[in-house]
Amino acid sequence: MRARHAVPLSLAALTATAVAYAAGIEVRSFRLRRLTVPVLPPGASPLRVLHVSDIHMVCGQRAKQRWLRSLASLRPDLVINTGDNLSDPEAVPETLDALGPLLEFPGAYVFGSNDYYAPVFRNPARYLVERASGRHGLNGNAPATHVPRNPWWELRDAFDTAGWVNLTNARGRIKLPSYAGSSAAGTEIALTGLDDPHIRRDRYAQVAGGPERDADLSIAVVHAPYLRVLDAFTADGYPLILAGHTHGGQLCVPFYGALVTNCDIDAARVKGHSTHTTAGHTSHLHVSAGCGTNRYTPVRFACPPEATLLTLTAP
């Protein structure tokens, strides 16, 4: 009798321990990932880009706010924010306070669906069903009119006032200033961005045309790394694409990896640096695992929250 019940009890205890760790420890175990990506022209000085994504701020998340403020000590040459800053319609002031020190640096941004829409509870099993069926996105990738709105325009106005470039289905350009510790002063960066493909707000025709040849570097920026978007950017010849959205899978299996990506990219490229090839062209791709979670699924397992400092170099 004891042996019959020992295995179920052991599994229950192991599950409870894993849930406690995922909800109480790992979700607050913020990490800085460092990567080197060879995308600059020969002879160019290294360029440091801080990639922040999927903050999903909820009021009162003090540890996350302190960690985000501390990233300014890295003194990046450029900050790229790939969206989903909010998971609470009341959290705009705390989000801006956390990002305040980073707003002192040159930057650019796109929004994700959670910037526009307040979070709603979803059965986590739906992500597995969507992955198996090939359907991804909010109500079949259409905006949900019944979902409450977040005050995204307050974020936009604050980012714009700070001088960050709005890449919502738009192009932008940044000439890096000179300051202590930077070797990239005067570098001209052309940026091309899309609104969130996850809810079909992307309009590639508005930004098509490829990199700007008179810039030192062209970067493509989008929230969700859907294949149609990666194909378009790569076919146009962008050397580097930055995205977020996936949370790195959020709940991963040790030594195996992510089970879901919440879009149609393959699980092998759910986070970190990889490449994307189409039509004979290849682009470097970085997908951030993000530093937050939806407020209704505040857990992470084998996938700690992160931001990434990308050092761009010549080949």
Per-residue pLDDT of the chain (315 residues; tens, 9 = 90+): 555 655 565 655 555 666 677 767 999 999 999 999 999 999 999 999 999 999 999 999 999 999 999 999 999 999 999 999 999 999 999 999 999 999 999 999 999 999 999 988 776 656 656 665 666 654 444 555 567 899 999 999 999 999 999 999 999 999 999 765 677 889 999 999 999 999 999 999 999 999 999 999 999 999 999 999 999 999 999 999 999 999 999 999 999 999 999 999 999 999 999 999 999 999 999 999 999 999 999 999 999 999 999 999 998
* CA–centroid distance for 16 within its chain: 29
192 within 8 A of 167, measured Cβ to Cβ: yes
Alpha carbons 290 and 64: distance in angstroms, whole number = 12
What per-residue confidence (pLDDT) applies to 7? 57
287 within 8 A of 49, measured Cβ to Cβ: no
Alpha carbons 290 and 240: distance in angstroms, whole number = 18
Architecture of the domain whose range is 2-313 = 4-Layer Sandwich (3.60)
Adjacency order of strands within the sheet including 281-287 = 170-175, 188-193, 217-221, 240-243, 281-287, 272-278
What per-residue confidence (pLDDT) applies to 148? 86
What per-residue confidence (pLDDT) applies to 121? 78
| 300 closest CA partner among 55, 28, 12 | 28
Task: Give the residues across from 47 on adjacent strands.
Answer: 312
What per-residue confidence (pLDDT) applies to 140? 46
42: three-class secondary structure by DSSP: coil
Whats the size of the chain, residue-wise?
Answer: 315
What per-residue confidence (pLDDT) applies to 187? 95
Q: Do strands 306-313 and 170-175 pair parallel, antiparallel, or not at all (unpaired)?
A: unpaired
What per-residue confidence (pLDDT) applies to 66? 98
Alpha carbons 116 and 163: distance in angstroms, whole number = 21
